[in-house]
């Protein structure tokens, strides 16, 4: 078991079947004690019971919640060895149509919140610990109508580098994982459309889009003691960043072509 004896906090695990939940199950399978956190009590309670861990309500945009989460981690587990942030908001809005309210919400969820989450975790983290931020391939390559999301993800990539630089003397490693298009609760509508998925898959050198399990595998590896990596963005996306995302026009054309084929709805 790769994480035996590790104490992990995973924030963003309150959505049924989301990345936080998939990662929590993987961590538990690898021997870690896991505290799952998020904004919805019922799925957190069910998950913590399933994996024999702990659960806490926490809104990443509330500094008091983050401080309380770190205190609970110490109280319930005796400390923190691993901290993972899987939260995100997949806003798709044209650049000129993005409102001030959307920008403020996005910044709170994907920059200020993660920044303060890692502050809270690092204050109680043991030496030789590990932090992981879920980034995105779109922090490196383009996707239309996604600027607020992409910009905040890219900003946190650099914050993670700063953490790696500052806390390396304590043996603490800090990294990001960057999936591409992934079938998940966040992308459920698009993931149900085979033509849309196909438009993305054509851009992947490995020939398919990613899964939540692919991303959880990358997160797990970054948290193992044998991982001599810090300050990096691990591109867990089948080589997508060697190419590009499809354009909006290509996605629409693929969906239209699929509808016009005999037997297609």
Domain boundaries, the chain: 7-183+210-241
* Domain 7-183+210-241, CATH: 3.40.50.720
Please tell me the predicted confidence (pLDDT) of residue 246: 96
Span 200-220, mean pLDDT? Answer: 97
The whole model's pTM is what? Answer: 0.95
Q: Is the pLDDT of residue 191 over 90?
A: no
Of the pLDDT bands very low, low, confident and very high (cuts 50, 70, 90), residue 80 is very high
User: For residues 9 and 83, is the Cβ–Cβ distance under 8 A?
Assistant: yes
**Torsional sign, CA 87, 152, 242, 232:** negative
Could you give the count of Cα atoms lying within 13 Å of 116 in the half-sphere of its Cβ? 19
* Residue 69 pLDDT greater than 60, yes or no: yes
Query: In a 10 Å sphere around its CB, with 0-12 CB exposed, 13-18 middle and 19+ buried, how is residue 5 labelled?
Result: exposed
Mean pLDDT, rounded, of the chain = 95
pLDDT (mean) for 144-156 = 98
**Cα–Cα distance, 182 to 237 (Å, whole number):** 9
- Among 178, 149, 176, 150, smallest CA distance to 162 is for 176
Q: How far apart are CA 202 and CA 175, in angstroms?
A: 28
How does pLDDT run across 95-122, given as a tens digit for each residue?
999 999 999 999 999 999 999 999 999 9
Q: Give, in degrees to the nearest 5, the angle at Cα 135 between 185 and 28.
A: 65
What percentage of residues in the chain have a pLDDT greater than 90? 91
Residue with tokens 């001599």: 228
Contact status, residue 12 vs residue 60, Cβ threshold 8 Å: yes
Q: What is the pLDDT of residues 118-138, one digit of tens each?
A: 999 999 999 999 999 999 999
pLDDT of residue 78: 98
Residues 6+ apart with CB under 8 A from 37: 9, 10, 11, 12, 13, 14, 44, 55, 56, 57, 58, 69
Dihedral (CA of 97, 154, 209, 38) sign: negative
What is the secondary structure of 211-254 as a DSSP string?
Answer: -HHHHHHHHHHHTSTT----S-EE--STTGGGS-PPPHHHHHHH
**pLDDT confidence band for 265 (50 / 70 / 90):** very low
Contact indicator for 77, 52 with CB cutoff of 8 Å: no
How wide is the angle at C-alpha 72 spanned by C-alphas 112 and 110, nearest 5°?
A: 15
Whole-number Å distance between alpha carbons of 18 and 182: 11
pLDDT value, residue 227? 98
Identify the band that residue 164 occupies on the pLDDT scale cut at 50, 70 and 90: very high
- Residue 189: its pLDDT value, please? 74
């Amino acid at each position: 078991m790769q994480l035996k004896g590790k104490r992990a906090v995973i924030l963003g695990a309150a959505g049924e079947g989301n990345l936080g939940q998939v990662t929590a199950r993987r961590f538990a399978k690898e021997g870690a004690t896991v505290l799952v956190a998020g904004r919805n009590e019922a799925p957190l309670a069910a998950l913590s019971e399933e994996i024999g861990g702990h659960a806490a309500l926490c809104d990443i945009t509330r500094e008091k919640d983050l401080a309380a989460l770190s205190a609970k981690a110490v109280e319930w587990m005796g400390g923190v060895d691993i901290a993972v942030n899987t939260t995100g908001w997949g806003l798709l809005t044209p650049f000129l149509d993005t409102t001030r309210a959307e920008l403020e919400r996005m910044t709170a969820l994907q920059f200020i919140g993660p920044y303060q989450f890692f502050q809270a975790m690092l204050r109680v983290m043991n030496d030789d610990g590990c932090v992981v931020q879920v980034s995105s391939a779109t922090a490196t390559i383009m996707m239309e109508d996604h600027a607020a999301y992409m910009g905040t993800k890219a900003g946190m990539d650099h914050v993670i580098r700063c953490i790696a630089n500052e806390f390396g003397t304590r043996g603490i490693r800090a990294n990001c994982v960057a999936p591409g298009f992934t079938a998940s609760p966040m992308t459920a509508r698009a993931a149900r459309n085979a033509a849309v998925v196909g438009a993305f898959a054509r851009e992947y050198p490995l020939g398919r889009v990613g899964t939540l399990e692919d991303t959880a595998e990358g997160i797990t590896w970054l948290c193992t003691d044998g991982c001599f990596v810090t300050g990096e963005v691990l591109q867990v996306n089948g080589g997508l960043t060697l190419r590009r995302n499809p354009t909006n026009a290509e996605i629409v054309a693929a969906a239209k072509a699929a509808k016009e084929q005999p037997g297609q709805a």
